[in-house]
Amino acid sequence: MKPGKKTKGSKGLRIQTGELKGRLIPSPVSPEGKSNFTPAIIKKSLFDIIESLQLQGRLNIEDSAFVDLFAGSGQMGIESLSRGFARAVFLELAWDRFENLKGVLDKLGKPHLVLRKDAFRFYSGFDIPEKTKIYFMDPPYSFWDKKTEKLKNVVEEITQNEPGVAAIIVQSPLPLNWEGFTPRSFGRNTLNVRVLA
């Protein structure tokens, strides 16, 4: 079984590490029958990067918010809460995923903000009291065919207008040659990292 894949008959993915380790995150399946889970190796690598920033003194996760602009099942933000982030912020436009995510997070009882918003139009102006933020973007891979410039514009506006951004991490099917980003590829997935702290 490949990392991050669901076992037959399962209805979600379990938290890997931290206080909520082992908790199941249910995921509504899209009309196309896809659940779009981030592979385990990508998740581990992303949080290894964040841990490295903390060890370097460039980030304190206990004072930081994890902002997921294309939340889906919410697995990345929930993993961030399990690992000690002060708050997770989730943007999800699809109604069923938004409602599912709200229900899951209410049961966890961790500080969070869930918004049914389009990340292309509503990336900033959140009521986030935390000192620093990590932004994560994992849009549907189909977006990269026609919306690459829009995604790049969202990133640039975050870097220019949002205070306290420690890093922006973008998951994509291919390495991005965007200014300031360092790509790290894992098979058919790439984490593109821009550190601002």
CATH number at residue 73: 3.40.50.150
| pLDDT at res. 12 | 63
Token pair belonging to 27: 């995921």
CB 170 within 8 A of CB 142: no
Rounded to whole angstroms, the Cα distance separating 165 from 161 reads 10
In a domain, 56, yes or no: yes
In a domain, 147, yes or no: yes
Pair type for strands 112-115 and 87-91:
parallel
| pLDDT at res. 4 | 41
In a domain, 25, yes or no: no
In a domain, 177, yes or no: yes
What is the pLDDT tens value at each position of the chain, 197 positions in all? 334 443 334 456 667 676 666 566 666 555 444 445 677 889 899 999 999 999 999 999 999 999 999 998 899 999 999 999 999 999 999 999 999 999 989 988 899 999 999 999 876 667 788 989 999 999 999 999 999 999 999 999 999 888 899 999 999 999 999 999 999 999 889 999 999 98
> Total structural domains in the chain?
1
Q: Residue 111 belongs to what domain range?
A: 46-120+128-195
Rounded to whole angstroms, the Cα distance separating 168 from 152 reads 11
| pLDDT at res. 49 | 95
In a domain, 38, yes or no: no
In a domain, 29, yes or no: no
Record the pTM: 0.86
